[in-house]
Amino acid sequence: MTIVTKVDQAGSSGGTEQELTDGFHLVIDALKLNGINTIYGVPGIPITDLGRLAQAQGMRVISFRHEQHAGYAAGIAGYLTKTPGICLTVSAPGFLNGLTALANATTNCFPMILVSGSSEREVVDLQQGDYEEMDQLAIAKPLCKAAFRVLHAEDIGIGVARAIRAAVSGRPGGVYLDLPAKLFPQTMEAEAGRKSLVQVIDPAPAQIPAPSAVDRALDVLKSAKRPLIIFGKGAAYAQADEAIRDFVEKSGIPFLQMSMAKGLLPDVHPQSAGAARSTVLKESDVVMLVGARLNWLLSHGKGKSWGENPKKFIQVDIEPKEMDSNVEIAAPVVGDIGSCISALLDGLGDNWPTPPAEWTDAINAKKEQNIGKMALRLKKNSIPMDFHGALGALRTVIKERPDAILVNEGANTLDLARGVIDMYQPRKRLDVGTWGVMGVGMGSAIAAAVETGKPVLAVEGDSAFGFCGMEVETICRYDLPVCVVIFNNNGIYRGTDQDPTGRDPGTTVFVKDSRYDKMMEAFGGVGVNATTPDELYRAVSEAMDSGKPTLVNAVIDPTAGTESGRIGNLNPQSVVGKKK
């Protein structure tokens, strides 16, 4: 317990000293008691001293240039550690900036707590015009798992404990914790303050699946002629890596990994069907989803992507409401991923039938064909580079450094990298997740470096980087081992759009031939301009080995991209003026 001050208490037999603590220190002590030692945020009224005191008490406080990116960092910190990431913001505008990241964390099932200072309740409730007046709790509630407000110092321990448990229990997500300015200077007797703190016991207890559900799933799986397993980032978050590997290899079933699940098993694993994705989605007859949702990223489990073959779905998820969200789930298995996979693994027994050779041979043939086609594109050495040539260079960088963390966002830069860059270890690929949010890159890269100490390669589209680019100063300020590569094709999708009136640049066009590398140099980092795959490979390799903050401006052909990458179908097209 941190002691703020000692005060003299007058009494009949002389003075006594009483040790006091305050709201600032109680918040810090409550976090530290629960193993939380890092805060991401932006200082300001009324939380400036909270950050200073946290740093003085040994916590690591990473100050950003914008709250949204601090929030994205906190979400990724939660994903990587299974402990809630903390984002600390000022009131009203700062809170609103962090709210996007809070909603994103909830959507992606990242455990995160947005802690915001706020105006005084009595003024806010009467709408009397306080500094940055806003009913933040009411605004946050629809966008997170839970929201709490603490008004009294003696309740800080309970408030923090409730926020932690809500963030990590069941399906993880974002939680809002509202701390009015008047709370922080409140004092109480230090020993009473110590007793008011709560150490959360078993915040995310195992949820064991029903034996009947496990048996049903195994019966459906055993009946399959063309089985397929799809892993989502929930499976990676679970950190049940050994059990998952054992289940896959013992069953012999081919698997696909969604983008943030890549590396749960190596993409080069013989059972990986990543290079035959279209084939296995269309031709499979039983699909087992593990920590993956049948949302837009999987075409909702229906339509052309899934072909005409009837399918049965097995779904393993901790959230029972996820079942039947888009299609009928023949065998729901509800529980935490680790417990479910362990139970399924036990049920395989010693005589589990491997998938028919006809199915696995067909997948392998398609993989070889597609890998051969891709190899030719990756070797292309054109100037300026196209996306495949540049990604081929980065693919080699990651292959040589499988322990490095890859952060990826953009349109073409994201969509193509998912299929080109192989991952070899779990939780090494971080990207835009379920919402496809632009601007997560720098926050994710900073959190990955801080939480793991590993070198980070952040591959950014020039548009995506525009949302978060000032955080390169944060990377330099904290001297983090992050190499940022910007695929610079002068615009969104392509750098060739034009304004038909000739008045302005096209709506998707940026300044031609920008030199983003100069930004990094301005803050004391290393900047490199790369025009060929060989130059790109050398620059990134040197950066990853040196650990120095580096930004590589990768010059990409402005005509190389396609609209919205592979999800252009989601962008409605105008029919006005088009010939029928």
Better pLDDT: 23 or 8: 23
- Helix then strand count (H, E) for the chain reads 21, 20
What percent of the chain shows pLDDT beyond 90?
88
Residue 15 confidence class, pLDDT cut points 50, 70, 90: low
Task: Give the model confidence (pLDDT) of 181-214 as tens digits.
Answer: 999 999 999 999 999 999 999 999 999 999 999 9
* Pairing status of strand 312-317 against strand 227-231: unpaired
pLDDT computed for residue 563 by the predictor: 84
What the block records as the tokens of 262 is 């890549």
| Whole-number Å distance between alpha carbons of 523 and 477 | 8
| Whole-number Å distance between alpha carbons of 72 and 441 | 8
Buried b (16+ CB within 10 A) or exposed e, 128-150: eebebbbebbeebeebbbbbbbb
Task: Give the model confidence (pLDDT) of 158-185 as tens digits.
Answer: 999 999 999 999 999 999 999 999 999 9
Contact 98, 160 (CB under 8 A): no
The Cβ of residue 403 has, within 10 Å, a number of other Cβ atoms equal to 11
What the block records as the tokens of 132 is 């940055």
Residue 575 confidence class, pLDDT cut points 50, 70, 90: low
Contact 293, 261 (CB under 8 A): no
Kindly report the CATH class assigned to 379-567: alpha beta
The Cβ of residue 195 has, within 10 Å, a number of other Cβ atoms equal to 12
| Whole-number Å distance between alpha carbons of 314 and 332 | 6
Q: Residue 525 above 90 pLDDT? A: yes
Q: Residue 12 above 80 pLDDT? A: no
pLDDT computed for residue 327 by the predictor: 96
Which range has the worst mean pLDDT, 189-193, 375-379, 434-438?
375-379
> Which residues fall within 8 angstroms of residue 282, CB to CB, at 6 or more apart?
305, 306, 307, 308, 309
Buried b (16+ CB within 10 A) or exposed e, 406-433: bbbbbbbbbbbbbbbbbbbbbbbbbbbb
Residue 565 confidence class, pLDDT cut points 50, 70, 90: low
Three-state SS for 336? coil
What CATH number matches the domain at 5-196, 3.40.50.1000, 3.20.20.70, 3.40.50.2020, 3.40.50.970?
3.40.50.970
Range list of H helices, 148-210: 156-168, 190-196
Q: Kind and range of the H or E element at 175?
A: strand 174-180
Give me the sign of the Cα torsion angle 263, 267, 269, 270.
Answer: positive
Orientation of helix 357-378 relative to helix 412-420, angle to 10°: 130
| Whole-number Å distance between alpha carbons of 314 and 287 | 6
pLDDT computed for residue 567 by the predictor: 73
Q: Kind and range of the H or E element at 332?
A: strand 331-334
Task: Give the model confidence (pLDDT) of 353-369 as tens digits.
Answer: 999 999 999 999 999 99
**Segment 95-113 mean pLDDT:** 98
Which range has the worst mean pLDDT, 34-38, 97-101, 131-135?
131-135
**Segment 367-382 mean pLDDT:** 90
**Segment 269-287 mean pLDDT:** 97
The length of the chain, given as a count of residues: 580
Residue 9 confidence class, pLDDT cut points 50, 70, 90: low
pLDDT computed for residue 125 by the predictor: 87
Which range has the worst mean pLDDT, 36-45, 148-157, 370-379?
370-379
Contact 446, 475 (CB under 8 A): yes
Same fold, 211-364 and 379-567: yes
Residue 580 confidence class, pLDDT cut points 50, 70, 90: very low
To the question of pTM greater than 0.75 for the whole model, the response is: yes
pLDDT computed for residue 462 by the predictor: 96
The CATH number of the domain covering residues in 211-364:
3.40.50.1220
Sheet containing 456-461: give its strands across.
Answer: 429-430, 405-409, 456-461, 482-488, 550-555, 526-530
Three-state SS for 6? strand
For the chain, the structural domain boundaries read 5-196, 211-364, 379-567
Q: Residue 578 above 60 pLDDT? A: no
How remote is the C-alpha of 216 from its chain's centroid?
33
pLDDT computed for residue 369 by the predictor: 96
What are the distances in angstroms from CA 107 to CA 18, 211, 230, 429?
47, 30, 19, 18
Residue 505: cis peptide before it, omega within 30 degrees of 0: no
pLDDT computed for residue 121 by the predictor: 86
How remote is the C-alpha of 567 from its chain's centroid?
20
What percent of the chain shows pLDDT beyond 70?
95
Mean pLDDT estimate for the chain: 94
